[in-house]
Amino acid sequence: MSSTTQKHRNFVAEPMGDKPVTALAGIAEVNGKKLVANGFDKAYIVLGQFLVLKKDKELFVEWLQDLIGCNVKQATDCWQCLDDWCAEFL
């Protein structure tokens, strides 16, 4: 992992369980509410979309930007968080 936030390290350090979407790096309260409004209320549901998109960074970042209007850094942080989590637990 490159330099990551504490939120990122906390997420990757343990199984996902029933964590809310706001536990994902790059997803704060405002973007979290947008995800919930679109049916993505748990981190594992966002993980499902990440896997459907075959862990492809470009596709995932574009999907997240289109869905909730987040910026590239936020979407990339979320992708990196999920990618690192998968490397640890899948």
pLDDT tens profile 7-55: 999 999 999 999 999 999 999 999 999 999 999 999 999 999 999 999 9
Residue ranges of domains in the chain, CATH in brackets: 6-89 (1.10.150.40)
Supply the pLDDT for residue 57.
98
What does pTM read for this prediction? Answer: 0.94
Per residue in 43-88, pLDDT (tens digit) is: 999 999 999 999 999 999 999 999 999 999 999 999 999 999 999 9
CA pair distance 88, 50, nearest whole angstrom:
15
Using pLDDT thresholds of 50, 70 and 90, give the confidence band for residue 4: confident
Per-residue H/E/C for the chain: CCCCCHHHHHHHCCCCCCCEHHHCCCCCHHHHHHHHHCCCCEHHHHHHHHHHCCCCHHHHHHHHHHHHCCCHHHHHHHHHHHHHHHHHHC
Q: According to the model, what pLDDT value does residue 1 have?
A: 44
CA atoms of 54 and 37, how far apart (whole Å):
24
